[in-house]
Amino acid sequence: MISTAPLPSPVPLPTTLSRLDLPSVSFFGRTLAEYSQFFALDPVTLRGRAVLDVAAGPASFTAEAFRRGVDAVAVDPLYGCTPDALATHVALDYARMFAQLRAKPELLRFRSFPSLEAAELDRRAAADRFLADYESGFLHSRYVGGALPHLPFFDGAFDLVLCAHLLFIYNRKFDYDWHLAACRELVRVSAGEVRIHPVCGADGRPYAELNRLRRDLQAAGIASKVTPVAYEFFRGTSSMLVLQRAAA
């Protein structure tokens, strides 16, 4: 029998991709295990090496790497705040971010976590480990206050420099010139490689100015390549940008 009930109105297809709303930079962090995936790292090979995590936030990469014998240092503009103030940033920014991710499941790919709940547990564990390490780490200069594009370190001070979830994700806050200056600064403090993740914006699309950026870096004597990584959680996050001073 044919129903006479009114047809539901069709759900309109999105004309543009949805995106994360990021009015300010979130104090949000991930574990060493997640860093190892999206930066294609083997922590064992980092033992004894100087590694800098830039825009580290409440990530536990530095705390965990330090315990494994890595000479790890983290830098973030909020370091220098009291532990209580940082715990408040974590509470507010995690609540906002997870509410948004729950509301926009189309932005997620479950390649590295089985569910959003699993990702939330893991990232909350990262913040707990960071907060437990912060006070003594700050006293020992493992956590250093500082911001791109001017880092408080000597040229070539680190064997490896990492920067996750700042540069291209926040491409509405930071313009092209800022991105170029930030990349040059990351290379300045590195004696080896710089790895930047992800290479997409808050809508999961590849960073629109990537080719121009790579050309300008090349002109400044910096080689670059985009490398796929065995990771994806937020849509479009399965690669990293690798920078290295070009051989003279």
Query: Considering only 26-34, 42-50, 65-73, 232-240, which stretch makes contact with ligand SAM by CB under 6 A?
Result: 26-34
Phi, psi of 170 (to 5 degrees): -100, 45
Round to whole Å and give the CA distance between 148 and 168.
Answer: 13
CA distances from 70 to 47, 50, 174, 192, 238 (A): 4, 7, 31, 16, 25
> DSSP code of 105?
G
Round to whole Å and give the CA distance between 228 and 81.
Answer: 36
Judged by CB under 6 A, the residue of 46, 63, 127, 148 near ligand SAM is 148
Q: Do 204 and 239 meet the contact criterion of CB atoms below 8 Å apart?
A: no
Using Cβ positions, the residue closest to ligand SAM within the complex turns out to be: 57
> What single letter denotes the amino acid at residue 160?
L
Site size with ligand SAM, rule: CB under 6 A? 19
Query: Considering only 2-10, 50-58, 99-107, 225-233, which stretch makes contact with ligand SAM by CB under 6 A?
Result: 50-58
- Between 19 and 223, CB nearer to ligand SAM: 19
Judged by CB under 6 A, the residue of 32, 51, 55, 194 near ligand SAM is 55
Binding flag, residue 160, ligand SAM (CB under 6 A): no
- Between 20 and 215, CB nearer to ligand SAM: 20
Q: Which helix (H) or strand (E) holds 184?
A: helix 176-188
| DSSP-based three-state secondary structure for 3 | coil
Binding flag, residue 147, ligand SAM (CB under 6 A): yes
Q: Do 57 and 28 meet the contact criterion of CB atoms below 8 Å apart?
A: yes
Interface with ligand SAM in residues 192-231 (CB under 6 A)? none
For the CB of residue 114, give the shortest distance to ligand SAM in the complex, in Å. 20
Judged by CB under 6 A, the residue of 50, 65, 133, 165 near ligand SAM is 165
Site residues (vs ligand SAM, CB under 6 A): 25-30, 54-57, 59, 76-78, 147-148, 164-166
